[in-house]
Amino acid sequence: KAMCSGKLQTALLVAGYFVYLLVGAAVFQALERTAEKQEKMAAAQMKEAFLQNFTQLTVAEMEQFMKNLIEAIQNGVYPVGNESQFEESNWDFSNSFFFAGTVVSTIGYGTLHPKTAGGQIFCVFFALFGIPLNIVFLHRVGKMLSLLCKKLGKFLYEKGMRKKKIKFLTLLFFLATGILVFLCLPSVFFQITEGWSYSEGIYFAFITLSTIGFGDYVVGKQSDRKYFSYYRVLVAIWILFGLAWIALLFNL
């Protein structure tokens, strides 16, 4: 009964955690998408005005254009290419879910952030409750994985292996498996999808899972590449389970 109750609690926690992220993503999308469209229209108009009059601009006007351009880029608007690129949103559901995941995991790349007053206030409360929920989630998943460690240890003990050796081999097994599953293989995937080198993929994976999150490398941000739907959702799920693996290592 205790085991069934524990499994039910874990299932409810995992379901509640992902529902929390899904609701957060939907709210961020609703609050930020309209404001982003207005920013993109303003950037497109600024670019058009510049192209029509760039030969007649004064030094002061040129400097103002540069300031406006930098501000647009800082807000996640890149006025390059044709108009179809302005139709693609940084706050579609995939990007919003990815953002919600980086908030609760405290990675915070800084390349995408809420700019409306409503989005910023909601982000405060979302993080306030989401970060503790994330800690509980990681602890529970880490605990489940540690049960697998115990089963492996019990199996090795029954084979006549000493306890110290069992502890060392168990830690080595989960360390090697985690490095393969959460660092090495995803880096190949990023190399193919993002066009990065393998070393850049490893660097991104480590900086992300360690929650350093410099923001110098972020998935799904290159305007010249086509990404499949929900690419960033899959990356967000990889991040969450990668963090659970790190929590397991701490438990071990």
Per-domain residue ranges of the chain: 1-58, 91-251
Residue 16, C-beta contacts closer than 8 angstroms, at least 6 positions apart: 133
Residue 82 has what pLDDT?
Answer: 59
Exposure letters 113-130 (e unless 16+ CB within 10 A, then b): bbeeeebeebbeebbeeb
Residue range 84-95: mean pLDDT, rounded:
77
Give the C-alpha separation, 96 to 138, whole Å.
21
Residue range 48-62: mean pLDDT, rounded:
83
- Positive or negative, the Cα torsion across 16, 18, 134, 2? positive
Residue 84 scores a pLDDT above 60: no
CA distances from 148 to 23, 154, 165, 241 (A): 32, 10, 17, 15
State what percent of residues in the chain have pLDDT above 70.
Answer: 96
Lowest-pLDDT range of 66-70, 93-97, 220-224:
220-224
Residue 81 has what pLDDT?
Answer: 65
Q: What share of the chain is helix, strand, coil (3-state, %, to 5)?
A: 75, 0, 25
Binned at pLDDT 50, 70 and 90, residue 248 comes out as: confident
pLDDT digit string, tens, across residues 181-239: 999 999 999 999 999 999 999 999 999 999 999 989 999 888 778 888 889 999 999 99
Does the domain spanning 91-251 belong to CATH 1.10.287.70? yes
Give the C-alpha separation, 98 to 101, whole Å.
5
Residue 6 scores a pLDDT above 60: yes
Residue 83 has what pLDDT?
Answer: 55
Residue 73 has what pLDDT?
Answer: 78
Angle at 30 between CA 24 and CA 33, to 5 degrees: 120
